[in-house]
Amino acid sequence: MRSPLTALHVVQPGDGGVARVVTDVIAAQLDLGMRVAVACPPGTPLALAAGARGAEVHPWRAGREPGPRLVAESRRVAALVDLVRPDLVHAHSAKAGLAARIAVRGRIPTVYQPHAWSFEAVDGVTGALARRWERWAARWTDRVICVSEAERRRGEHAGVRAPCSVIHNGVDARRFTAGPGRAAARAALGLPPTAPLVVCVGRLCRQKGQDVLLDAWPAVLARVPDARLVLVGDGPEAEALRTAAAGLCVPAAAPGVGLAPAAGFAPAAGFAPGTGPGPRAAAGPRTEPGPGPRPGPRTAAAAGTATASRTAAAPCGAADRAVTFAGAVTDTAPWYRAADLVVQPSRWEGMALAPLEAMAGGRPVLLTDVDGARESLPPGQEAHCLVRPDDPAALADALTALLRRPVLREALGRRAQQHVLRRFDVRRANAALADVYREVTAAPRHRHELGEPISQ
């Protein structure tokens, strides 16, 4: 009897959208009878979820960025390959892709899933080095998995020459279609019952663009005074964003009440609604040429005006804060249910998972025009639901237009839900990945592809 296929997933980061995607993949592979091992940072949401589902979890103490520890991190992957003896290694995100491919060097089938290319995150010399590495490592890659056609084209344009499959991210719609309605969700979370509510779910970091959203929010409040914003997530920019939001207050004449956590709500450690961080890091010019036009950064004058309007104001009282920080949460579904509109102001993506989750729950989304955004939206929604990245004025205009049109929002949300249920079901994504695994493990290994294993 043939033994079940063994897959070793090497993953960094162990939280956020990548962790949710990998968790769904692991669950599906275990259901198929595969042996699944996961190497990821210990104590992370992914490590806990993978262990709870019955996968073998091996601690891999790797940082997010390349650095002096890379050699030791790669040696740890090589040791885990010797221990687990997988039929296939699947590396997720740039850091894991770097360490795993250095460790394995083509000795066994290797699948690499960037979840957004590394060179999208950096410019200048660092960006050039990232592109050069991705091109060079393609020789040790049996298949690249891109989560959008736009991501595939961007890799091709950068000179990454490896067999590639496009498998869109998928969501388990059952998590988002079931549950209480908007009013019950707001009551449970301690949110005002009638105020226009915008929710942004994502790691608090430069990639996700929450700083641009805060720059846009004063213009939104000027036109929709009772609007509220909730940022769900944690990350390296949390303190800076809290400080920037401290002066964003609901005007005294606006209806509704402030955002106060409900009884029993347990946010992340250090949570303080609407309090927190210093000035955000400058965006810097984008120099990466892509298959389509890339918008440039907003001017320093535009960013400075918005930032000055916030920092000059006195901090709001607890009941008057227009922005709330929910911290890291284990379940994002209640926040989508509470929202009138979900926004994702990212600077770059492969295909963001949060908008798919929101749409599965019947909520309209407003996205920046980065890789994967157009592919995730229902046809015809671009005019209402897509804006240039790094453009707070355009973002404010689009937010205001949608907040002022509840009938349009409901129509967009209904169509978005049907679109996601039809095209982005997680079962379809996992079936496509299973096909890739069968193809790469069945292909003959060519001697010229193989490299020496990394020394221990």
DSSP secondary structure letter of residue 35: E
Q: What is the pTM of this model?
A: 0.83
In angstroms, what CA-CA distances link 19 with 9, 75, 269, 310, 437? 11, 23, 20, 34, 20
Strand ranges (E), 361-453: 365-368, 386-387
Mean pLDDT (whole number) for 385-395: 98
Per-residue confidence (pLDDT) for residue 64, from 0 to 100: 82
User: What is the tens place of the pLDDT at every residue in 296-343?
Assistant: 444 333 443 344 344 445 677 666 789 999 999 999 999 999 999 999
Decide: helix, strand or coil at residue 158. Answer: coil
What whole-number distance in Å separates Cα of residue 49 and Cα of residue 26? 9
In terms of DSSP bridges, do strands 341-344 and 197-201 run parallel, antiparallel, or are they unpaired? Answer: parallel
Taking residues 202-220, what's their average pLDDT?
97
Q: How confident is the model at residue 303, as a pLDDT?
A: 41
Tens digit of each residue's pLDDT (9 = 90 or more) over 82-109: 999 999 999 999 999 999 999 999 999 9
246: tokens are 């401290």
Taken in order 16, 18, 23, 24, is the CA torsion positive or negative? positive
Percent of the chain with pLDDT over 90: 73
C-alpha to C-alpha distance for 343 and 230, rounded to whole angstroms: 10
The two most distant CA atoms of the chain are separated, in Å, by 74
Q: Which residues pair with 386 in a beta bridge?
A: 367
Residue 297 pLDDT: 40
Look up residue 100 and give its amino acid: A
In this predicted structure, what is the pLDDT of residue 444? 83
> If you average pLDDT over residues 154-166, what whole number do you get?
95
Which neighbouring-strand residues pair with 35?
A: 6
